[in-house]
Amino acid sequence: MPNESATQEMTDGFHLVIDALKLNGIDTIYGLPGIPITDLTRMAQAEGIRVISFRHEQNAGNAAAIAGFLTQKPGICLTVSAPGFLNGLTALANATTNCFPMILISGSSEREIVDLQQGDYEEMDQLAIAKPLCKAAYRVLHAEDIGVGIARAIRSAVSGRPGGVYLDMPAKLFSQTMEAQAGKRSLIKVVDAAPRQIPAPDSVQRALTLLKDAKRPLILLGKGAAYAQADASIRALVEKSGIPYLPMSMAKGLLPDNHAQSASAARSYVLAEADVVLLVGARLNWLLSHGKGKTWGGDKAKDRKFIQIDIAPTEMDSNVAIAAPLVGDIGSCVSALVDGMGANWAKAPADWTSAVYERRDKNVVKMAETLSKNPPVMNFHSALAAIREIVKANPEAVLVNEGANTLDFTRSIVDMYQPRKRLDVGTWGIMGIGMGYAVAAAVVTGKPVIAIEGDSAFGFSGMEVETICRYKLPVCVIVFNNNGVYRGTDVNPSGGADVAPTVFVKGARYDVMMEAFGGVGVNATTPAELSKALKEAIASGKPTLINAVIDETAGTESGRITSLNPQTAAQKK
């Protein structure tokens, strides 16, 4: 008889990683090949996993993070060791800050050499470095533990408050072998990774009592509300309550921005005047002035009551007292509020809603007047007026947005009509998310992607236009080119030959960069040219870059966060 052990089917670490990912419904990897994970990318592709290869790991990590936001499954970023790991780590930390489920898998040096500091190739204690910057971090040393490692990473990434997870895989793990059947048994299919967390009935009643007694209530929607995919329940809450709502940037489109109860164009007024604020998936961080100060009406703030829905009880009272904490997942909490309102709920007081909508409508008219102007040299308003109409005609398109002024103006001018169609810099305000987000949005949704970029922001990830062309993705990048950071008019204060630190090459042609990789490049100097090029890009689905030349004097220092720039803020006093 033949030797049974000699005929046993074997597997290895490479295939166990792939099989574990596939078992858990992971069908795409974003990364950059190199030692020791090049063969893993080849094998994953051979096994039917889509592998999107980038030019820089940070962009791959950003792609994985936003894929997690869009799908509620952890996006996977795969990098090489040490420098590649560090490049991906920025994206991992950003994902954790923004509560996007993501797993960074990095190859690493052997533990024995790292621990003795013997100088291995790209030697680094990656696990120790990652731990403070993500939700969880694990290392897998043995092939039989790969299934457990990936299962724990998935559960950590999506359960409770989502976030980034690091998974360390030393090089020799991939070549370890074991009997195939034993390997199959070692894999784990994660069941109910993000279970519902039902709010306590008394918490729901406390929140309803506050809302019922409120004279000037406001609902504030954050990107957590968009992530939750509880769209119908959120709409029901807004419409049944009759309360004006204010969406944060990435919550735009949860209800159409032209909805009758939208208070976006009266933002300053409602934040300063509301007496009860219901926070749905939003945190009282710097983006909301920490729930206090001038933004919230100064002295009036002391009488304001907050209701906060969050899955993390430790988020409550982080900046101000939360009168009615509602701990649970957003879908369950919102549904409980809607159910608790019953059939005879009295809608928000008419004197309050009338005051809000009167101010909103006046501001909308003012904005329309500004957008109707067509100055000799295109500026942010005239350029975005053209884009605004095309987005309205193509509500299924995904809008990616980053920059300083480019971010601020786009957020307030371009309306969104469907949920999870606006992706931007989020909580950190980090630059460089643009091309990674655009790639993932196209891969995940299959819909047209419009990436509106400041010329400075585009520089962080611009080389990924080659990635967009390589995979033939329906992405149109629009670079608002005003020759510099904020604007292109600064001068060298010393009078020396070097240009000012904020000034770029004058008249740069970013469109030619796209053409170099086989995409479509357009140089647009008028709103009509911009509109025509964007329409053609959406219709064709071809990778396109529009170099939108705008007035170099357009833009302000630091956009709308000038107060965070110490020197500029001091000069304005």
Cβ–Cβ contacts within 10 Å for residue 252, how many? 27
* Domain limits for position 377: 373-572
Given 162, 186, 210, the domain boundary residue is 186
245, 163: one domain: no
pLDDT at 111: 85
Same domain, 495 and 561: yes
Edge-first strand listing for the sheet containing 324-327 = 245-247, 217-221, 276-280, 305-310, 324-327
* Same domain, yes or no: 306 and 329: yes
Residue 364 counted as domain residue: no
- Phi and psi of 119, rounded to 5°? 85, 50
Can you tell me the distance from the alpha carbon of 234 to that of 221, in angstroms, rounded to the nearest whole number? 9
pLDDT reported for residue 567:
64
Cβ atoms of 246 and 287 within 8 Å: the answer is: no
Rg (CA), the chain: 25
pTM given for the model: 0.95
- The domain that holds 269 is classified in CATH as 3.40.50.1220
What residue type is assigned to position 146 of the chain?
Answer: I
Cα separation of 456 and 428, whole Å? 17
User: In terms of C-beta density within 10 A (0-12 exposed, 13-18 middle, 19 or more buried), how is residue 344 classed?
Assistant: exposed
At 307, list the tokens: 């209701």
Domains in the chain, number: 3
Residue among 109, 105, 128 at smallest CA distance from 117: 109
Chain CA centroid to CA 170, Å: 30
State the 10-residue block means of pLDDT for the chain, 573 residues long: 65 98 98 94 98 98 98 98 96 98 95 86 92 98 98 98 97 96 98 97 98 98 98 98 98 98 97 98 94 90 93 95 98 98 95 98 97 96 98 98 96 97 94 97 98 97 98 98 93 95 95 98 98 98 98 83 65 51
* Residue 128: CB atoms within 10 Å: 11
Which DSSP helix (H) or strand (E) runs through 106?
strand 102-108
Q: Are residues 406 and 517 in the same domain?
A: yes
Residue 334 maps to a domain: yes
Lookup: tokens for 413: 């001018």
Burial of 498-521, coded b for 16+ CB within 10 Å and e otherwise, reads ebeebbbeeebbbbebbeebebbb
Q: Distance between the two ends of the chain, CA-based, in angstroms?
A: 92
pLDDT at residue 1, as a whole number: 45
pLDDT score at 3:
54
Instruction: Give dist(CA 124, CA 117) in Å, integer.
Output: 9
Q: Which two tokens stand for residue 36?
A: 């020791």
